[in-house]
Chain A
Amino acid sequence: MSSVVSLSSVRREYTLGTNTTVALDDVTLDIAAGEFVAIIGPSGSGKSTMMNLIGCLDRPTRGLVSVAGYDVADLDDDALTSLRSQAIGFVFQQFQLLPRTSALDNVATPLLYQGVKQREARQRAEEILTMLGLSDRLDNDRTQLSGGQQQRVAIARALVTNPALVLADEPTGALDSTTGRQVMDLLKDLNRAGRTVVVITHDANVANYADRQIHLLDGRISSDQRTKVTA
């Protein structure tokens, strides 16, 4: 089983003036292809820091991070961007749809950055939005969509490049419980279809959707449990 993400003795410090905060300390972790992992922990435990490292948005202070077989330390900014673009789909807590941009163009944008022609990008975006039940919301921008719809557009945007790894940071944080469940069901379906999914949450109910729960406390892994054996 090949690992999609591998952290080994990773430490991430933030320095503000003379103060140094250790957000992650000595974290070692492997996530295999096809896993559905929840990273869970209280506020300030280092979840977002970990997500940024796994998502190639940030680099560790010490230790090794490798994603899709690449050692992040070996990659310059452009190569890191390429890796994000090819291998990772992000779902953010606040949806983070682009302002004054239609749902369709939001979903097409990652493809445009890959150099896909606008017509093809829009076509692929439309397909995926239709799949997620948003075929009648293509031209709406974020102010014209409900929270649940926005999150589905965000998930469509994360999936359009067909990434190996979907990273979701508090994907239900801004949603009511019913809509939150729908979003988690959607992520579960994606995982069943073979994609690796990592969800970051402080909510035990959300974590229960996952096959594996990794608990963080004060920047360290306090437990790592498989609730189900992956195929």
Chain B
Amino acid sequence: MNLFASFNLAISRIMATKTRSILTMLGIVIGVASLVALMSVAQGATSGISNALSGLGAKQITVSGTSATGLVEDDVTALSMLPYVESTYSQVSGQGTASTGKVDVSLSLVGVSPNYASMALPKIAVGSFLPSSLPMQASRDVVLSAVAANDLNIKVEQIGQIIYINGQPFQLVGVLNDANGFGARGIAYVTQDAARKIFAQTPYVSSITLQSTTETDVAAVTTEADTLLRGRYGLSATDSAQFMVTSQTSLLSTLSTVQNTLKLMLGGIASISLIVGGIGIMNIMLVSVRERTREIGVRRAIGARQRQILVQFLIEAVVLSVLGGFIGLVLGELAAYFVAKAGGWAFTISAGTVGLALGFSALVGIVFGVVPARTASKLQPVEALRFE
């Protein structure tokens, strides 16, 4: 009897006891569904995060002051001289108001140094970003975030016109495409020199961003920056400082720890349900062997070898569990699709996940099908034929 015939036979047996087969598959369905959902979600989230980090973000280190007077302009100069630091920008920030004459809103004010445009790569919706050449640094230009522009009810034709920041006239040169979602506060970007004149006290800066030469230097630069600043402020390595040095890489490692815990938990659930599902299959196969003892006897009498009986029952167990695995795969991918939609990353079906789901369920079928199949194949023909 070839595999194809055995396979057909297995399908017809499973169809003959539909309800029982479906109930038996349930454990495998749940196990594989959670396995697939877990893998897809983990992969989707990881690729989402690394997409966000790819590009310049991955090479950047941020030093932020924990108090308004935490960092000064000389710190920027000193940090920019560190080895492997390619470029630097700083920001000053505060609160203020913006007015078009008709509408007044309060918003965050940010004064950025010339390198901001090339390092943070702000996305422009209309107009342009602030000028970055040095003579223009004192220019009274302003760029609004999408939320601020919306709050001020800015129209495209207002680009180039005057709006008032803290009561002072500024020319609106551009609006960003940086939708931050509901409730986010608007931001007005001005040059740092202009900021010094209207809200920021010299020589303090709120944060400094460093860009390392390569991604592999990020860790070294992070440590060096911390050491340098501690030196400048006479702090030992254990003193609490008025600044914090962070990188997106360190953020990512925290995230991946969380992710690993999640994976472990879901993986635990998946493997327990797979084992429970496997035991269910073993149980139902043992019942089936008992019910079909006479049939096995007849088959042995008319020429079935022990191996052919063994393979027959094994195939039945594997078909049962792979069928369950397939249903679980579909449900799991469906769950992953909705999670991806909610999480805002791209949904993909990876060949690895599909292979693992079907492979695992086949393995469960083989492992838990062996005992019933062996029992069936070892039946003595005469006794099997006499069985009532």
Contacts and interface: CB of A to CB of B under 8 A. Distances in A.
A11 B33 CA distance: 59
Of the listed residues B5, B301, B381, B382, the one surrounded by the most CB atoms of chain A closer than 10 A to its CB is B301
A226 interface: no
A206 B126 CA distance: 105
Interface stretch (A30-38, A90-98, A127-135, A191-199): A90-98
A226 B307 CA distance: 42
B4 A96 contact: no
Given A99-B295, A118-B5, A110 B12 contact: no
A77 B306 contact: yes
Given A98-B295, A100-B12, A118-B5, A113 B302 contact: yes
A114 interface: yes
Contacts of B381: 57-58
A92 B382 CA distance: 12
Contacts of A84: 301-303
A81 interface: yes
A157 B302 contact: yes
Contacts of B308: 113
A143 to B, nearest CB: 12
B54 interface: no
Nearest to B300: A81
A113 B305 CA distance: 8
Interface string A77-90: 11001101100001
Nearest to A59: B382
Given A57-B382, A84-B303, A110-B303, A92 B298 contact: yes
Contacts of B13: 100
Contacts of A55: 301
Contacts of B1: 112-113, 115
A57 B312 CA distance: 21
B237 interface: no
B16 interface: yes
A152 to B, nearest CB: 16
B295 A161 contact: no
Contacts of B295: 98-99
A223 to B, nearest CB: 27
A122 to B, nearest CB: 11
A113 B304 contact: yes
A113 B308 CA distance: 8
Interface string B1-19: 1101100000011001000
Contacts of A149: none
A81 B5 CA distance: 20
Interface in A151-209: 157, 161
B299 A98 contact: yes
Contacts of B12: 100
Interface string A94-121: 0010111000000001101111011000
Interface in B35-56: none
Interface in B210-256: none
A55 B298 CA distance: 12
A85 B381 CA distance: 13
Contacts of A61: none
Contacts of B68: none
A92 B299 CA distance: 12
Contacts of A225: none
B111 to A, nearest CB: 82
A122 B172 CA distance: 86
A52 interface: yes
B385 interface: yes
Given A57-B301, A96-B298, A118 B382 contact: no
A222 B134 CA distance: 126
A81 B16 CA distance: 29
Contacts of A157: 302
B140 interface: no
Contacts of B5: 112, 118
B385 A81 contact: no
B59 interface: no
Contacts of A77: 305-306
Contacts of B307: 78
Interface in A43-93: 52, 55, 57-58, 77-78, 81-82, 84-85, 90, 92
Nearest to A79: B305
B32 to A, nearest CB: 29
Contacts of A100: 12-13, 16
Contact of B382 (A52, A99, A109): A52
Given A100-B16, A112-B5, A113-B1, A81 B298 contact: no
28 contacts: A57-B382, A58-B381, A58-B382, A77-B305, A78-B305, A78-B306, A81-B305, A82-B303, A82-B305, A92-B298, A96-B298, A98-B298, A99-B295, A109-B299, A109-B302, A110-B302, A110-B303, A112-B1, A112-B2, A112-B5, A113-B299, A113-B302, A113-B303, A113-B304, A113-B308, A114-B303, A117-B2, A118-B2
Interface of B: 1-2, 4-5, 12-13, 16, 294-295, 298-308, 381-382, 385
Given A77-B305, A114-B303, 11 more contacts: A78-B305, A81-B303, A81-B306, A85-B303, A92-B301, A96-B294, A100-B12, A113-B299, A113-B302, A115-B2, A161-B303
Interface of A: 52, 55, 57-58, 77-78, 81-82, 84-85, 90, 92, 96, 98-100, 109-110, 112-115, 117-118, 157, 161
User: Which 3 pairs between the two chains have the least Cβ-Cβ distance?
Assistant: A85-B303, A113-B303, A112-B1
